[in-house]
Amino acid sequence: MNEYIGHPSQISGVEEHLLVGGRGNGMRIYEINNGKGMFLTVSPDRNGDITRLRYRGHNLSYMSPCGYVAPSYYDSRGTNWLKSFTAGFLTTCGLQAVGNPCTDEGEELPLHGSISNQPSEHSWWEETDEQITVHTTTRDEQIFGRKLVLERSLEISKMENLFEINDTIRNTGDRREPVEVLYHMNIGYPLLSEKSILKIPSETVLPRDEHAEADIENWMHMEEPQKNFRERCYYHKFADERGRASIEQPEIGTGLDISFDASVLDGFVEWKMMGVRDYVLGLECGNCYPDGRDVMRKMGMLKVLDPGRELHYAVCVKLRDL
């Protein structure tokens, strides 16, 4: 008991809200305050993804022009996923597919899969003196098809400004299933600007295509917003199991660090998009690259999960003062 406060929310905690208006009307969101300057917005109606991330009054994430979009508006055809791509700090891509739309073994697959456009079937939170934990369960199951369940624990520290995404993906069906996942983490203004310093201590950097290759010497340099900018993607490989990336913005005195196990999340993508209003840097760890499931199968990089088995992935995000 703290004798100085009337309600625990003066210091930290979780508040549940409903959005009103627009395509996000009726969506639940959790507003989370860790009591040390870090604020997150979590969307249980979008797989428990993280919509907003703020630190000491500064926005760190990117919100696309779509804004909040409820799952009922999702269109799985071709690249129509982009019409409901809120982005936010974290959009989870998968589970049946990541990246380009394609046909793999007779199955038509949409851009970046459907899990981020599915509401959690069950969500709740708990709080201790040390941390806040948000739990979500999202089912990607259908008759005559894949049966996958994603169970997420988002552990938010109250002792320091960091959180960890812990996911368990279970195959609840009776057949082997391909499983792709990409943690599409999106950095936005003012953490992202031409003054930002990007560090990815990778061993090799490969361009996704010829367009990216033409400017590969500037993969780490951010620019101011440019008209008609065409996205560039770079694939990073790490020398050991310690996958990590960081971005710093001296003008706001803030840094953000991402760390993960690169032996299981073995596909790290830097998505550099310096467009007008489409101004975002994606720092994306996953178990594949976003070239389509058919390409990953040919490359021998496609992960397959046996019935009754599960996969575990964890990503840690830390905020710091410069």
Q: Indicate whether 294 pLDDT > 90.
A: yes
CA–CA distance, 154 with 169 (Å, rounded to integer): 14
Residue in the structure block whose two tokens are 């490969």 = 206
Distance between CA atoms of residues 302 and 70, nearest Å: 30
- The predicted model gives 71-96 an average pLDDT of 95
**What are the residue ranges spanned by the domains of the chain?**
12-321
> Any residues with CB less than 8 A from the CB of 196 and at least 6 apart, and which?
187, 222, 247, 248, 249, 281
In percent, the amount of the chain with pLDDT more than 70 equals: 100
User: Any bridge partners for residue 163, and if so which?
Assistant: 156, 317
What is the topology classification, in CATH, of domain 12-321? Beta-galactosidase; Chain A, domain 5 (2.70.98)
- Asked if residue 26 has pLDDT above 90, the reply is yes
Asked if residue 125 lies in contact with residue 132, where contact means CB atoms within 8 angstroms, the answer is: yes
Confidence of residue 1 (pLDDT cuts 50, 70, 90): confident
Residue 190 Cα distances to 162, 296, 318, angstroms: 19, 35, 17
Q: How many residues does the chain have?
A: 322
Q: What is the mean pLDDT of residues 147-164?
A: 98
